[in-house]
Structure 1
Amino acid sequence: MKFKFLFIVLFVSFASFSQNKGTVSGTITDKDLNNESLPFANVMIKGTTIGVSTDMDGKYSLNVAAGSHVLEISFVGYETIEVPFTVKANETTTIDRAIGSGSVKLEDVVITSTVNRQKEASLLLEQKNAVEIKQNIGAQELSRKGVGDVAAAVAKTAGISKQEGSNNVFVRGLGDRYNSTSINGLPVPSNDPEKKNIALDLFSTDIVEYISIDKVYNVRSFGDFAGGNVDIASKDYKGKGMFEISLGSKVNTEALGKNNFLLQRGPRKTGFVSYGVPENALNSFNFQNSTNPVGESPFGGNAAFKAGKSFEIGEEGKLNLFATASFDNGYEYREGVNQTFDALDGRKKAFNQEKTIYKTNTTGMFTANYKLNSNHKIGYNFLFINSSDQSRDTYFGYDRDFEKDNADVMVQRGTFVQNTVMINQLLGNHKLTDRIGLDWAASYNTVKGNMPDRIQNKLFKDRTSGEHTIAQQTDTDNHRYFQELTEDEMAANIALSYKLGDNENGDSKGKVAIGYNGRFKKRDFEAIQFNFNLVEEARNIILNPNNLDVLFNQQSYEAGNFTIGSFAGMNPQTYNGEQNIHAGFANLEYKISEKLSGVLGMRFEKVEQIVNWRTQLDAGGGVNAFNRDEFLPSLILKYTLNEKQNLRFGASKTYTLPQFKERALFIYEDVTEIKVGNPDLYPSQDYNIDLKWEMFPTSDELISVTAFGKYIMDPINEIVMASSTNDITWVNIADQGYVVGAEFEIRKNLFKIEGDLTNKLSAGLNVSYMKTHQDIDAEKISRETKGRINTNLTDTESSFTGASDLLLNADISYSKDWKNDKGIMATLAYSHYSDRLYALGVEKQGNLVDKGMGSLDFILKTKLSKSLGLDFTARNILNPEFKRVQENASGDLPAVTYKRGAFFGLGLNYQF
């Protein structure tokens, strides 16, 4: 009886309590990312244990007692906001809110399994808690600094610089050969036969979720690593749906100041071409393009769209789709000195160079990420990039090889380069049990690099009459050149991980991972040059330099004014390369104590590289191969000094491979230099060490100091050979070289006003100082190349080419939000590098040195409404003069000088 009475009381009480409950629900969005939905945000009733995490669409729903409450909304690395509300029984109150980066303190942050890697605060938190030593740049920081491509993005980080006039990125003084590039952890091939890495400025930041820069090696990566690895994480859209269109225009001040902006005729404005080597080119003049230039109006622009949407599939499934397509073009003009000198500082070539440039970039990307459930996820990424670089160079002045009374020399070269990159990736992440995880990835990539119909002509200009005639001493002076590269690469990663036992707090003590990486690359390269040998009478014909078609045409060819020849008839010069890498690794991550954690790894790689060729240096053809077994240990330690400070240590062994072109007996001729491959080149061995202290005062602030050192055995370097033509080649220059340096970085809020709407002034500074050194051993070079390569370098030691002692990046940003989704963000950014070695001196000449210079940019981004934005950019505002000098005891001699001009752009974007 008592039991029945108690049951009735409990039932009545429960029914009464249920009738007094209401519901609060809504959607939480990300204020800093165009109010995209924010999954996994924490929604709590303050002062209670009632709470829930938002779903993949940012939605939540809570049942609470009728009355007044305070809703507390938070997310890792974001501000926490409190919303008072009142709910009535059996009714629903809707509360939608947007949250963003705020004044959250790191000690208040609770780490969850999901981090929004577009946000600066979230990436700093991930950096703080990771055992590995890394730096990340998210979409938010890229937008704030107005960065348009990945090359400009990585050059904003400590210890990294971009070489003027090229796509080379230097990490801690180490250039292209010492670095590597990947997308979503999978390697990508180069688009340039002279480079190891793909040009990072091909990648628009529109496709980027975040960029990870690893300067400390871990055994999950391929061992061809000494400077750093740049990993691009492609965008993974999550939200109900988005469609954005953007349009923009830009100008270059130097190009606008050019009265007659001329470019090579033939290539399309889109950057795509379909022409190539003409048929029967040795017996008739049937080249498709005119030698005459075409005038342009140097105004560039861009257009792009982005779209994304998420779909629910079944009870737990979620499909996220994202696509973007863009086209960008721009014009540049440069004018300045281009000179070379002999050992007595006499001028060999003394030109004034004018260069007009037109560039395009077409990008298309599609990603599909499918979450089957909380344990299984697969993704597919497709990326297509077509870039073109069209230039017309005019060199005018003195050339010692072309002595003629009362006449100057003019060299005209029109070049068009089209590079196409196609990347396919399939990735999977699986949680097999609570302790066992499986990650896998595979890729198939294709790169095509074409230089169709490069045109060069040399002329004399009479100083008295101003009349022009053809200049010719060798068959190659007047020519048309065709080059084609195709590279296919497959890669595969697989890793199995196991979480170790829990400690007394219930946290895992660490994990063990074992895995396999494979990388298989094949390159086919061919080039053919058609040389025009003019008869003596034709060399006296008076010509207009901008109308050479009157001489180079089929009628003139039939009249016998010139003949057409090549190295081996219609058979091109070729070199082919194949590289296969099989690697296995084991990795132990372990929490030794509450404060000390470490990662110990071992990797084994079997490396095979084969290069064969048939060129004008070896008409019969040749082949060269090497096989290497590389054992690569690594150790990373992290000591937590307190909740805000870490001390880190890293040590590893890696190696550096020579590239295909460097080992093929192929000649590449530029106007002022010639490069030749060296089949006797072999890999370097690298030993790396890092020590880093870091402090995180708040969620979006950082102070860090790093000391690093690298010891390199058998370093590879470009040198000038002791020969009549002073050709450039690559050699293992000595037994050893080293790099030592330090980096300092600070990100600080100068002021921040608390509240729902951002009002913040922040600044950042990173400074790197380093010293590089390598011995120069002429006897070693001669011995290892069996006397084929000799050199007469001026010094017996030098710094590394491309390395600056001092690198500096600084920025200051102001951001403010108003109601109704309006806002403004302005950034002033400055970058500087000190003097850097371009080439080693030879025959008692001084070194060629690029003088230090700086660049100042201003970026303004506005939100006029929730959907409409207006942006303004001003780059290279100071327009400093680039100077390359030949060092000399009596003073520096100018070798190359020019100004790039300032770039101004205006953009409009609208999101539906």
Structure 2
Amino acid sequence: MNMFKKILILGLLLISTQMMAQTGILRGKITEATTGEGAIGATVTLAGTTNAAFTDIDGEFTLTVPYGKHNLIISYVGFQKKTIADIIINEKKGEVYLENIVLDTDTQTLQEVVVRAELLRTSEAAITMIKHNSSVILDGISSAKMKITGDATAVEAAKRITGVSIEGGKYVYVRGLGDRYTKTTLNGMDIPGLDPDRNSLQMDIFPTSLIDNIMVSKNFSAEMPADFTGGLMNVETKAFPEHKVFNVSFGVGYNPQANLKSDFLTYDGGKYDFLGFDDGSRELPGLAAGVNVPTPISGHSKEEVTSFVKSFNPELATKTKTSPLNYSGGITFGDQRLLGQSSNKLGYILSLNYKLDYQFYDDVNYGEYQRYNDASLTEMRYATVQNGQYTDESVLLGGLAGLAFKGKSTKIRLTAMRLQNGEKRAGIFDIDNDGAAVGQSGYIAKSNNLEYNQRSLNNFLLAGTHLLSNDKLEIDWKLSTTYSISEDPDIRKSAFTYTSNNDIVFSAGAGGLPSRIWRDLDEVGQNGRVDLSYGYAFKGNSAKVRIGANVLRKERNFEIKQFQMAFFGGAAGGTWATDDFSTILNEGNIYPNKQPNNIYYQSGNNDPNPNEYNSRSLNQGYYVSNEMSFGDRTKVIAGLRLEEFKQYHTGRDQSYASGDIVNGRNLDDEVVLSSVNLFPSLNVIYKLGELANARFAYAKTIARPSFKELSFAQIIDPLTNRIFNGSLFTYSDWDGELLETKIDNFDLRLEKYGERGELISLSGFYKKFRNPIELIRIPEQQTSTEYQPRNVGDGMVLGVELELIRNLSFVSQAMQDWQLSLNFSAVKSQIDMSASEYNSRLEYVRDGETIEAVRKMAGQAPYILNGGISYNSFEKGLDMGLFYNVKGSTLNIVGIGLFPDVYTEAFHSLNFGLNKKLGKSEKLSLDVKASNILDDTVDVVYKSYKAENQMFSSHNPGRSFSVGLNFKL
């Protein structure tokens, strides 16, 4: 009997466990159609039961429901009751998330609205709703669209957005304006960049798997930072998982030009290169940190000199290997839990991603060209040209951990993110210098280049939202700290020069002496902000007033240390029997061995170092804005922002560092920029229909110089020998005073939205610039290629944008799963030349050429086109699309006098992506991608009157193909 009872009890337990297992989770988000915001406190009931829940601060709800087909009833005061029918939850769909439930007001009809659950399946529609209800002109892309396009990083995804273009594969430009006019924020907070040569953030380090959405504000409102003009791009990382997530992915890629190549250039690196950072083998030798390094003329012993030379890595030559396939992998885990019997939730997410990518540019060209002094000669002449091969092994490692608490009136979020990127590069180049060109000596040389760059970004965010006074008062606060590092440890360049007698030598005045460079940048950003908004009634309509404050502190440390190979006694560099770079630092060539070589290293760093600086800035912003409606159609948002900005600099020029304290300049934490500015903004939205708006906006904004631009830094590109000079250096035509750029912005937009995310919009914009900053070729530097940021004459930009997203069911009902997307921007820009630029162009005018006092704005693209056709079948579990992107030829560097202008040519990007769910459970999916299908090249060229374009730089990234598997539990 006892045994029978035990078996009975065990059987009952098994049955009850099985019954408990026959339940699933139903989650969703409910949005108010009038505002696009979450409906807080709406009642969600499972039809025919007492099983109910209330939506939280984001309008989200969670219900535990038995397997089967269900109807869901949603009721919310002031809005139509809605029923979601035919929701199926079973073993295949144990958890269902309804992501696009929109409630309409009950002013039109009191009838209940019934829709089928299958219609609620595209988060792109949610993005469309956000755009429709936004108080500013907004465009964006969701994580769902990124998955369809197959984009791996944020920079690839961003180019799908209207008016967005990509520069250098890393930097985002909005409306074709240069990088200084585009601002990037992470989760609404400012973050420091990783590149000393740019104002904007490198977007290629953000894996799309960590991103929830990317939104671009095309115009300014008072709660935004004022230092943008083209657009403000916000990258929102995943925070609170909408449903349980456990994804594992792995993919392989193949580029015929780069993968499985037996002649892939490389060199021995560190054992942690595969993780994206150096293991210390490239670190600066200990004795090299000082100024008085051991040399034969410094009083050090022979043993000390020899030991010092041997402390440098002896590898100066490229070698070859067979490159493997590209591959990537990732794992993401997240979920949310109800806390006790309350509706409070705790969400968490963990994600780790890895990507290894090989690039082989087997026909790379760099050129320096000049105009002839003879005005009758329209063609350009070369000063130096380099042709060769260049490879890049890139590792991207990203991790994110997030924890979030949500209740009906409170949300608190803690997120930590680490991004690590390492790039190992190797190149071989043939160099030809024309001695007949101005400032040139004439030589033939061959170089080997070995480089490594490691970048990291660490971001910590703590944020909260609280609703008070019956949800009328909302308090948002955010605290963020970001620490970024960019290091180039041990950049090695060696160039053999071939004399007219066919001797192989090292020559300082020709190919140059072998050199090594260490560059270090670290930057910390601390950002805190608080925003308060209060809802009230104005003449029977809802209104809202906002006030807030923002404090941003940034500090950067930057240093370059460089060393040059020297040769003791006899002719510098001696004569070499072979041009084998791997033999340069052989034992027999190192001091104190006999001539012809006798190698030692000498420091190129003075004390204090002119290529070392510390810069910091403090920006305090305060704003007030008010949003109110006038009748049923007109909404007005007016605001005023005040920003107090100060930038400090510690650094010195070459003269001071060399001991000339009388004529040299030295700054010790001195203010180099100080301003207090008011930024008014006005946004007017007129409702043309239920789903159509007319928008007008005006605002003042600003563009400030970067840390690097307001410095004495001289940064050389070891590959091309091109040199960037900070603006603090003075020349005969430049006083060293770099000013802020102030901009007046006018925007007009007509937009109409349709079902399933459809949209057609037409926008026009005009911008007036005072003291714009552009990169100028320094005319006084004729023996070297040097550039400097300077204020130029006032300018303007006039443009139009067209966006169309259309479901193709109007062609045929059989095409209801097909969608066409198209956006096009056309822009006219104009800059008034400064007197010095205009006169220098007159000095080198060609016969028949007319020089006007105006020209195009540097960095402004004349047009941008994005187009795509996609197929999305929920029933078949198939998403695929073909996407095209191009940006028109754009003035990149302003050439003056002898030197022609430099333009970035159009790059035609055509990519294909496919995602197919596999198996009955659809837990496994297949990703297929093809990139640069047209096999286009990235060309930057010199342009001059009636002359054939000549190459500034050129490389072909090649076509690439990848296949990946994604497993979702």
Q: TM-score range by the shorter chain?
A: 0.7 to 0.9
Assess, with a 3 A threshold, how the Cα gap between structure 1 residues 182 and 239 changes in structure 2: closer, same or farther. Answer: closer
Question: Does the Cα contact within 8 Å between 1:810 and 1:830 map onto a contact in 2?
Answer: yes
Instruction: Report the alpha carbon displacement of residue 117 of structure 1 after superposing the two structures with TM.
Output: 12
| Structure 2 match to 1:632 | 679
1:347 maps to which of 382, 385, 404: 382
Question: Does the Cα contact within 8 Å between 1:251 and 1:300 map onto a contact in 2?
Answer: yes
Between stretches 273-282 and 521-530, larger displacement belongs to 273-282
Assess, with a 3 A threshold, how the Cα gap between structure 1 residues 439 and 606 changes in structure 2: closer, same or farther. Answer: same
| Structure 1 match to 2:287 | 280
Assess, with a 3 A threshold, how the Cα gap between structure 1 residues 54 and 583 changes in structure 2: closer, same or farther. Answer: closer
Assess, with a 3 A threshold, how the Cα gap between structure 1 residues 792 and 729 changes in structure 2: closer, same or farther. Answer: farther
Question: Does the Cα contact within 8 Å between 2:778 and 2:788 map onto a contact in 1?
Answer: no
Q: Distance in 2 between matches of 1:697 and 1:377?
A: 32
Check if 1:225 corresponds to 2:228. Answer: yes
Assess, with a 3 A threshold, how the Cα gap between structure 1 residues 151 and 831 changes in structure 2: closer, same or farther. Answer: same
Following superposition of structure 1 onto structure 2, how do residues 713-728 of structure 1 map, counting pairs within 5 Å? 713-723=770-780, 724-725=782-783, 727-728=785-786
Q: Distance in 2 between matches of 1:118 and 1:42?
A: 23
1:357 maps to which of 378, 392, 408: 392
Aligned-partner residue type, residue 217 of structure 1 = F
Provide TM-score, normalisation by structure 2: 0.81
Q: Distance in 1 between matches of 2:812 and 2:549?
A: 49
Following superposition of structure 1 onto structure 2, how do residues 158-197 of structure 1 map, counting pairs within 5 Å? 158-163=162-167, 165-197=168-200
| Structure 2 match to 1:513 | 546
Q: Distance in 2 between matches of 1:385 and 1:401?
A: 46
Q: Distance in 1 between matches of 2:458 and 2:222?
A: 27
Instruction: Report the alpha carbon displacement of residue 766 of structure 1 after superposing the two structures with TM.
Output: 0.4
Assess, with a 3 A threshold, how the Cα gap between structure 1 residues 175 and 815 changes in structure 2: closer, same or farther. Answer: same
| Structure 1 match to 2:420 | 386
Question: Does the Cα contact within 8 Å between 1:869 and 1:910 map onto a contact in 2?
Answer: yes
Describe the SS at the equivalent of 2:620.
Answer: strand
Q: Distance in 1 between matches of 2:550 and 2:154?
A: 25
Instruction: Report the alpha carbon displacement of residue 729 of structure 1 after superposing the two structures with TM.
Output: 3.7
Q: Deviations over 1:620-676 (max 9, x none)?
A: 562251210011000001000010210011110011100111121121112242111
Aligned-partner residue type, residue 706 of structure 1 = S
| Structure 1 match to 2:469 | 433
| Structure 2 match to 1:734 | 792
Describe the SS at the equivalent of 2:808.
Answer: strand
| Structure 1 match to 2:917 | 863
Instruction: Report the alpha carbon displacement of residue 316 of structure 1 after superposing the two structures with TM.
Output: 3.4
| Structure 2 match to 1:400 | 434
Q: Deviations over 1:62-87 (max 9, x none)?
A: 9xxxxx998357899xx9853399xx
Q: Deviations over 1:510-530 (max 9, x none)?
A: 111111100001111111100
Q: Deviations over 1:816-852 (max 9, x none)?
A: 244xxx6211111111122111222322554222222
Assess, with a 3 A threshold, how the Cα gap between structure 1 residues 475 and 703 changes in structure 2: closer, same or farther. Answer: closer
| Structure 1 match to 2:748 | 691
Check if 1:457 corresponds to 2:484. Answer: no
Q: Distance in 2 between matches of 1:178 and 1:523?
A: 21
Aligned-partner residue type, residue 380 of structure 1 = L
| Structure 2 match to 1:12 | none
Check if 1:296 corresponds to 2:301. Answer: no
Across the aligned residues of Structure 1 and Structure 2, the Cα RMSD in angstroms comes to: 3.9
Aligned-partner residue type, residue 796 of structure 2 = Y
Question: Does the Cα contact within 8 Å between 2:554 and 2:618 map onto a contact in 1?
Answer: yes
Following superposition of structure 1 onto structure 2, how do residues 190-209 of structure 1 map, counting pairs within 5 Å? 190-209=193-212
Aligned-partner residue type, residue 388 of structure 2 = Q
| Structure 2 match to 1:134 | 138
Q: Distance in 1 between matches of 2:830 and 2:442?
A: 47
Instruction: Report the alpha carbon displacement of residue 542 of structure 1 after superposing the two structures with TM.
Output: 2.1
2:218 maps to which of 215, 236, 241: 215
Following superposition of structure 1 onto structure 2, how do residues 738-753 of structure 1 map, counting pairs within 5 Å? 738-751=796-809
Following superposition of structure 1 onto structure 2, how do residues 553-632 of structure 1 map, counting pairs within 5 Å? 555-556=590-591, 561-568=598-605, 572=609, 573-619=611-657, 622-623=666-667, 625-632=672-679
Question: Does the Cα contact within 8 Å between 1:583 and 1:603 map onto a contact in 2?
Answer: yes
Q: Deviations over 1:282-320 (max 9, x none)?
A: 322111362132433322211211010212224232110
Question: Does the Cα contact within 8 Å between 1:103 and 1:754 map onto a contact in 2?
Answer: no
Q: Distance in 1 between matches of 2:137 and 2:222?
A: 13
Q: Distance in 2 between matches of 1:161 and 1:402?
A: 40
Q: Deviations over 1:522-557 (max 9, x none)?
A: 111111100112352743112344414445888456
Identity of aligned residues (%): 23
Instruction: Report the alpha carbon displacement of residue 441 of structure 1 after superposing the two structures with TM.
Output: 0.5
Following superposition of structure 1 onto structure 2, how do residues 10-25 of structure 1 map, counting pairs within 5 Å? none
Between stretches 544-553 and 129-138, larger displacement belongs to 544-553
Q: Deviations over 1:536-584 (max 9, x none)?
A: 2743112344414445888456656233222335864311101001111
| Structure 2 match to 1:370 | 405
Assess, with a 3 A threshold, how the Cα gap between structure 1 residues 397 and 708 changes in structure 2: closer, same or farther. Answer: same
Instruction: Report the alpha carbon displacement of residue 50 of structure 1 after superposing the two structures with TM.
Output: 11
Assess, with a 3 A threshold, how the Cα gap between structure 1 residues 463 and 900 changes in structure 2: closer, same or farther. Answer: farther
| Structure 2 match to 1:65 | none
Assess, with a 3 A threshold, how the Cα gap between structure 1 residues 129 and 528 changes in structure 2: closer, same or farther. Answer: same
Following superposition of structure 1 onto structure 2, how do residues 868-887 of structure 1 map, counting pairs within 5 Å? 868-887=924-943
Check if 1:155 corresponds to 2:181. Answer: no
Q: Deviations over 1:189-218 (max 9, x none)?
A: 011111122201111111111111011011
Instruction: Report the alpha carbon displacement of residue 426 of structure 1 after superposing the two structures with TM.
Output: 0.6
Question: Does the Cα contact within 8 Å between 1:681 and 1:730 map onto a contact in 2?
Answer: no
| Structure 2 match to 1:658 | 705
- Please list every run of 5 or more consecutive structure 2 residues that lacks an aligned counterpart in the other structure: 1-21, 30-38, 106-111, 295-307, 373-379, 729-736, 846-850
Following superposition of structure 1 onto structure 2, how do residues 486-525 of structure 1 map, counting pairs within 5 Å? 486-501=522-537, 504=540, 509-525=542-558
Q: Distance in 2 between matches of 1:349 and 1:780?
A: 24
Assess, with a 3 A threshold, how the Cα gap between structure 1 residues 475 and 747 changes in structure 2: closer, same or farther. Answer: closer
Q: Distance in 1 between matches of 2:587 and 2:946?
A: 46
Q: Deviations over 1:243-291 (max 9, x none)?
A: 2211111122222485411124324232211342112233221113621
Question: Does the Cα contact within 8 Å between 2:226 and 2:679 map onto a contact in 1?
Answer: yes
Q: Deviations over 1:429-488 (max 9, x none)?
A: 0112122221110111111111100001111357998x8543432796421000111111
Assess, with a 3 A threshold, how the Cα gap between structure 1 residues 104 and 792 changes in structure 2: closer, same or farther. Answer: farther
Question: Does the Cα contact within 8 Å between 2:169 and 2:204 map onto a contact in 1?
Answer: no
Assess, with a 3 A threshold, how the Cα gap between structure 1 residues 735 and 840 changes in structure 2: closer, same or farther. Answer: closer
Count how many residue pairs are aligned between Structure 1 and Structure 2. 849
Aligned-partner residue type, residue 800 of structure 2 = A
Assess, with a 3 A threshold, how the Cα gap between structure 1 residues 488 and 300 changes in structure 2: closer, same or farther. Answer: same
Following superposition of structure 1 onto structure 2, how do residues 823-902 of structure 1 map, counting pairs within 5 Å? 823-865=877-919, 866-895=922-951, 896-902=953-959
Q: Distance in 2 between matches of 1:513 and 1:105?
A: 25
Q: Distance in 2 between matches of 1:197 and 1:569?
A: 31
Instruction: Report the alpha carbon displacement of residue 790 of structure 1 after superposing the two structures with TM.
Output: 13
Instruction: Report the alpha carbon displacement of residue 402 of structure 1 after superposing the two structures with TM.
Output: 11
Question: Does the Cα contact within 8 Å between 1:39 and 1:57 map onto a contact in 2?
Answer: no
- Please list every run of 5 or more consecutive structure 1 residues that lacks an aligned counterpart in the other structure: 1-23, 32-37, 63-67, 86-93, 783-788
Q: Distance in 2 between matches of 1:359 and 1:178?
A: 28
Q: Distance in 1 between matches of 2:705 and 2:601?
A: 36
1:415 maps to which of 451, 457, 460: 451
Instruction: Report the alpha carbon displacement of residue 793 of structure 1 after superposing the two structures with TM.
Output: 8.4
